Amino acid sequence: MTFIVKSVQKKLMIGTAHNCSAHLRAPHFPCLIDLFSKNLPNIHISVRSCHDALITCSKIIFVGATRANRVSPVAHLKPERRFALMKYFGFLFRFIVIPLAALTFWAWRDKKRGKDLPDTLKGIFPEAALAGLATVAVAYTTPWDNYLVATKVWWYDPKLVTGFLLGWVPIEEYTFFVLQTLLTGSWLLFLARNLPVNEQKPKNPMLIRLGVTAALALIWARSVLAFLRGGKSRTYLSITLAWALIPIMIQTLFGGDILWQHRRLVALGIIPTTIYLSAADSLAIEGGTWTISPEKSINFKIGGKLPFEEALFFFLTNTLISMGMTLVLSKDSQKRVPPRVRRWLRLKDQ
């Protein structure tokens, strides 16, 4: 019996070394069966069972050897590079849609619990404010972003987008404009429902409005001058500041004092979203979903990965969204809207 088992084991080992099938072909099985029959006459063994068992063993060994040599298609990639397999829409779903869905659920939960916006921020329906800001974001950002892609300030991986373009920019980018506005705006609404309200208004509102706007105007002028001079390494930085500071100056000139009154709300609307989106953006850049031109940026990378201009972009855009939402929701803002515009927007008198 020991001799038979060792003989079978030896044949299986030899078969494994030579791709299994060469030494476990069907002609060998009658010999093995005959060997079992002559040496084990008193043991009732099914011939068919032995035949099937040997075939099963050979298959297990062969399949096991094949799987052992199989390499995962992403095993050779570094952990951060595995994000290269994630398409642009996949990025949006993971990092924007999921947290936006969570904030939407929380808003529904707050409504069920009777938790609402403070009275000073009930100038307009929140849903209308979000829709309006998203529309403005797409309209204002589209020419600027198309210019960046057309001049190779940044580019995307064609394999990771659907291929449907509007101008030079893929449809995923336009979706990003809308989703970022909804995400940051929803976050600010969550904060507004849960933070205490500052009822104290600043003593010198006009000084705040003019002073902040003047300081921003100096930065804007310097950025425009740097862009016109054609410094290649500062292209992304200068054009981003020149583009974003115009609407920010309009906001501060119109309601800088209102924003100062709600400064805690505005700051907490800007900082966490900027950190979060910058971190997500660094993963997309590391994975190759999109790329920032090293020649047209200052090559200062936060954490060794995120270009400074990208963090600045999210800071400025989240500033626009947070300040815009605060001003649109504020009842004090509506008092400054001209009567004709108020009637056109169907705003109620406060």
Other beta carbons within 10 angstroms of residue 287's beta carbon come to 19
Q: Is the pLDDT confidence value at 105 over 80? A: yes
Residue percentage of the chain with pLDDT more than 70: 74
Domain ranges of the chain: 2-68, 79-345
Structure tokens, 287 = 């994975």
Q: Which residues are bridge partners to 306 per DSSP?
A: 302
pLDDT at position 151:
96
Give residue 287's pLDDT band: very low, low, confident or very high (50, 70, 90): confident
240-243 contacts, C-beta under 8 A, 24 or more apart: 240/309, 240/312, 240/313, 240/316, 241/312, 241/316, 243/144
pLDDT in tens, 155-192: 999 999 999 999 999 999 999 999 999 999 999 999 99
pLDDT in tens, 297-341: 999 999 999 999 999 999 999 999 999 999 999 999 988 888 777
Burial of 136 (0-12, 13-18, 19+ CB in 10 A): middle
228-232 contacts, C-beta under 8 A, 24 or more apart: 232/295, 232/296
| CA proximity to 226, closest of 215, 234, 236 | 234
What average pLDDT does the structure give for the chain? 81
Q: Is the pLDDT confidence value at 59 over 70? A: no
Q: Is the pLDDT confidence value at 283 over 80? A: yes
d(CA 24, CA 243) in angstroms, rounded, equals: 74
pLDDT in tens, 221-263: 999 999 999 889 999 999 999 999 999 999 999 999 999 999 9
| Phi, psi for 205 (deg, rounded to 5) | -60, -40
What is the DSSP-derived secondary structure letter of residue 158?
G
pLDDT at position 347:
66
Question: pTM surpassing 0.95?
Answer: no
| CA proximity to 54, closest of 72, 32, 84 | 32
Cite the DSSP H helix spans in the chain. Answer: 2-17, 28-39, 47-68, 88-92, 98-112, 126-150, 171-194, 205-229, 235-261, 263-287, 308-329, 331-334, 339-345
Give residue 348's pLDDT band: very low, low, confident or very high (50, 70, 90): low
Across 67-71, 108-112, 166-170, least confident range:
67-71
pLDDT at position 307:
97
The helix/strand/coil state of 269 is helix
pLDDT at position 85:
56
pLDDT at position 43:
38
Q: Is the pLDDT confidence value at 193 over 80? A: yes
Max CA distance (Å), the chain = 110
pLDDT at position 249:
98
